Structure 1
């Protein structure tokens, strides 16, 4: 027997993205975004409302990074989702984040988060909140690479958002091989 819930934005896993961009002064800002995913081979799509400071920064610079939130930084990642950069100008620093400028786009890499997708803005529709970025580069700290030189999810320990229960869950356990 199934229980019907109606039209809900529920999907598993729901990645927890930390979106970062510079403001006009070169100060980094970041926000937690749980609604998004890969759109095409070279594109990422996010649902971000226009009132966010990070969105205004992206629209001004046409660049952003998307880092994978991880278990080691759950509190900081949650903080940038709760606190508004419009009200707290030191939000990035107060989260405990430090940044390095991306080599590929005019946006900050969050030093504490070991994997990031570096993007150029393609489009943004303020009515639907739909933002699309072109993936220019994916970077990963060597500490999360496996023996094969690729990203090891067990070392990354990314978190996923449970939209039904408002919880964070960890992913990364290998249960089988595809193909």
Structure 2
């Protein structure tokens, strides 16, 4: 009786240890570093993704012909739907694990629909509440395309470091 009880207990514990069934390998993910949001036509949203190239990041010390980032732009109904739309053209699974900034144009930030779109970002569990919101004078897509950091080779750290230094210098208010 005691032996049967220990076998049943062992089997039930083994069944609870199978937590890796939904695991995704890191090389099968596309890590979005920044999301750009602009007004689109007919209540649509122009979305721009700045995606980090993981092969470039892993080639430290070696030369590679691949760019450090990839930029894709498209039109979507909202931020949640934009991920599914991006997954239809990118082979890797879109991930917001390294997302450090949401960039919006000044004209879109002053639009009455802006809060509705920002509310959608709070519904996504991968978007952290500490993600920085950057408002630019030009369109967000233009800002992302023309922003080429000279000293930072890791695009996933660039926006985080810029915000930290701006807060430390007193140029950006510390709201966290």
Fold match by TM threshold 0.5: no
Please report the TM-score for the alignment, with normalisation by the length of structure 1.
0.26
Question: Whose radius of gyration is greater, 1 or 2?
Answer: 2
Specify which structure has the higher proportion of helix: 2
